[in-house]
Amino acid sequence: MKNLALVFGIILLSFGCSEEQHQSWIRINQMGYQPNTIKVAVIGSKDNISVTEFTLHNSENDAIVASFDTVESKGEFGPFQTSFRLDFSDFNDEGSYYIRAKNTKSPVFKIDNNVYDGTADFLLKYMRQQRCEFNPYLKDSCHVDDGFIIYHPEKPDGTHIDVAGGWHDATDYLQYTATSANAIYQLLYSYRENPEAFGDAYQANGLEGANGIPDVIDEAKFGMDWLIKMNPSSTEYYNQIADDRDHAGYRLPNKDSVVYHPEYKGRPVYFVSGEIQGLFENKNRTTGVSSTAGKFASSFGIGAEVLSDFYPEYAKNLTQKAKDAYAFGKTKPGTMQTAPATSPYFYEEDNWYDDMELAAAKLYKLTNDKTYYSEALNYASSEKVTPWMGQDTAKHYQYYPFYNAGHNELALIANTDDKKTVTNYYKTGLEAIAQRGKDNPFLIGVPFIWCSNNLVTATLTQAKAYRELTGDDTYLNMEAALRDWLFGCNPWGTSMIVGLPEGYGDSPIYPHSSLNLLHGYQTDGGLVDGPVYGSIYNNLKGLQLLNPDPYAAFQSEYVVYHDDVGDYSTNEPTMDGTACLVFYLSSLEADVKKK
């Protein structure tokens, strides 16, 4: 529907509109705006125009309901020669509206307290679709023979281990502890902070039907069951299942025909060795075990805290597993990167203090052991700011997770002085992002590297946490702008979440997905990777657009985004990015209900 609407819109502009209107576009948050929040639209033009005022109209009768002169010029950005921010935050009446500036009209949008209701649960659709072993979307099973051990110093390569389950990482079917443990943490954190936002419409196996447990807990528990399998003893941890030999063409997971070894069933399961890995020419740069061990520990820790209300016996065991994983993380400090195989791409994580800080903070909360508290503070001071913040670029997943959840957990339990110290670390990172984005119309200060939407989501989470911890609204404008960016207030005018808004608006319809390409199944709820620098797009291997580009007018040498199954760099939904967005969307709904 989107592409047809765009073509129809261009036809109308060609026959019935001025040249200025044809060359100017107003971008809005397609989900709409809650009444008592910052509300800003952006007009961008390929001409040198001047905007000093705009009007807000009732969409049902076209009547002008308010006029504004709150306009801020932002100059050139991406495809636009001129751009302006149109601030209508002072208008709070609920209803359906559109904006006019000069001769340009925006899409219709709502102002309503309930515009984000159900959105967090909507994202869980994609999480269920990514399930491995039994997949409720396909109602079939996959990868049931996983897997066989490699890189273990004591067990022979090929030794069988049962690690079936968990989530596929993205369109590929690899599974990583780093992304999965982070996803588990974020889902449980989302419920802990915003239980009001979640419903119960699905069973534990992912099939339809209420089971008396919130769906977000069902999903987190499903991930936790797999994480436990990846840690069969206090000294045995595994980092990933499969490798990039998986990238053997489009296919459904239950039809996966890739054979990794002629004698061993299933897929390779990489042991957390703390040593450089890579079965073929390409190698990673692993230096230790702390990054993976810390993620195990923090996920087990928050599981012990949150799952105790639903599975008390199960949760009791997680505290000891968190202690063991944290202790393992201290045996060989450093990062355990994912392993490449036949291609040079892998998750190039270089930081680990944040993972151990989060784990120590969780363990202090669970045990009240002051040793964990002091160690958490030491780790916090070792990485005060997540290093990508304020930078122009970074390697793929070089600083992961993309924000330091440990600062938040530590600040929640810290004394007054330590809390101030840790929250100032958050402020420093937010200020760096804000300074980098302050001169562009969308206030976006994240670098347009691969998975830029994950950086946007991380910034939103950090901004929200900082604001809740301190009461400081300094970064509220940036937070609102990044929220709106994900839902269409961006150069392309599209939402970055498949299927949201539901039933209207512009969102991805051709995500990079075998489900979509082969059978037309939609990846509803999936957060796509997001825009990348033109220089990155032009240098990646295997990119090929399969359809005419409906956003061709909005591409630039600076930054590109394509809604095309052939563009894995900007339009591939990712499991961990989606899971991390659950927190912020749930908070938008819960905040209204709490008030």
223 half-sphere exposure, CB direction, 13 A CA radius? 36
Domain boundaries, given as residue ranges, for the chain: 2-111, 119-491+574-594
> Which residue is associated with the tokens 């929250």?
423
Residues 199-238: tens digit of each pLDDT: 999 999 999 999 999 999 999 999 999 999 999 999 999 9
Q: Map residue 247 onto helix, strand or coil.
A: coil
What is the per-residue pLDDT for 17? Answer: 41
Percent of the chain with pLDDT over 70: 96
pLDDT of the residue at 540: 85
| DSSP code per residue over 131-179 | BSEEETTTTEEE-TT--EEES-SSSPTT-B-----SB--SSS--EEHHH
Instruction: Label residue 541 by pLDDT band (50, 70, 90).
Output: confident
The Cα–Cα gap between 266 and 258 comes to 9
User: pLDDT per residue over 5-26, tens digit each?
Assistant: 333 333 333 333 443 447 999 9
Give, rounded to a whole angstrom, the gap between the first and last alpha carbons of the chain.
37
CA distance 582 to 458: 11
Cβ atoms of 49 and 104 closer than 8 Å: no
pLDDT tier at 249 (50, 70, 90 boundaries)?
very high
Q: What is the pLDDT of residue 330?
A: 98
Task: Give the pLDDT of residue 390.
Answer: 95
**Can you give the pLDDT at residue 140?**
98
Contact predicate 576/527, CB 8 Å: no
Q: What is the CATH number of domain 119-491+574-594?
A: 1.50.10.10
* Tokens linked to 268: 């390779």
Helix (H, G, I), strand (E, B) or coil at 40: strand
Question: In this predicted model, what pLDDT tens digit does every residue of 137-163 receive, in sequence order?
Answer: 999 999 999 999 999 999 999 999 999
Interval 493-515 mean pLDDT: 97
How confident is the prediction for the chain on average, in pLDDT?
95
Q: Evaluate the omega torsion of the peptide bond into residue 505 and state whether it is cis, within 30 degrees of 0.
A: no
- Torsion sign across C-alpha atoms 407, 411, 310, 298: positive
Residue with more model confidence, 470 or 4: 470
Residue % of the chain over a pLDDT of 90: 94
Residues 292, 272: contact at Cβ < 8 Å? Answer: yes
Res. 543 pLDDT band, cuts 50 70 90: confident
Segment (H or E) for 193: helix 177-193
Pairing state of beta strands 532-533 and 559-560?
antiparallel
Task: For tokens 């509109």, name the residue.
Answer: 17
Torsion angle, alpha carbons of 572, 147, 324, 220, to 10: 40
Angle, helix 119-129 to helix 215-229, in steps of 10 degrees: 40
Q: What is the pLDDT of residue 594?
A: 87
Read off the pLDDT of residues 295-319 as tens digits, 9 standing for 90 and up. 999 999 999 999 999 999 999 999 9
The predicted model gives 69-89 an average pLDDT of 98
Q: Is the pLDDT of residue 378 over 50?
A: yes
Q: What is the CATH number of domain 2-111?
A: 2.60.40.10
Closest to 478 (Cα-Cα) out of 488, 464, 493: 464
What pLDDT was estimated at residue 10? 35
Cα–Cα nearest to 547, from 519, 522, 511, 521: 511
CA distance 156 to 147: 13
pTM of the predicted structure, to 2 decimals: 0.95
